[in-house]
Amino acid sequence: SAVISQKPSRDICQRGTSLTIQCQVDSQVTMMFWYRQQPGQSLTLIATANQGSEATYESGFVIDKFPISRPNLTFSTLTVSNMSPEDSSIYLCSVVGGWNTEAFFGQGTRLTVV
């Protein structure tokens, strides 16, 4: 399994500002993903973070709102841009290693927009 560190663990932000969330894995992984979990809800895939190229976004999510970087095989960032209270959610980094298809999740970043 992989050890995933997400920073920050939580934040309270003003509307209109942006927050960048970091995801660091202790080993090289094949795939990295970003999910959103709205309060009391299920997890929804935002995008696949591709190393060295633009992320692949799911329907309903766009790069201008959620820019993602993945400069190497162990690190990725998700930025939540021009935040509104509707962006208040838990954002989770997920990784899949080359060993199998199991996905592991970070602890999440709990974002509150006021």
Partner 1 sequence: QQQVKQSPQSLIVQKGGISIINCAYENTAFDYFPWYQQFPGKGPALLIAIRPDVSEKKEGRFTISFNKSAKQFSLHIMDSQPGDSATYFCAASPSGTYKYIFGTGTRLKVLA
Binding to partner 1 by residue 104, rule CB under 8 A?
A: yes
Are 108 and 92 in contact by the 8 Å Cβ rule? The answer is yes
Contact flags string 32-61 toward partner 1, x per CB under 8 A: -x-------xxxxx--x-------------
Contacts with partner 1: how many residues (CB under 8 A)?
A: 22
Interacting residue ranges for partner 1, rule: CB under 8 A: 4, 30-31, 33, 41-45, 48, 92, 94, 96, 101-108, 110
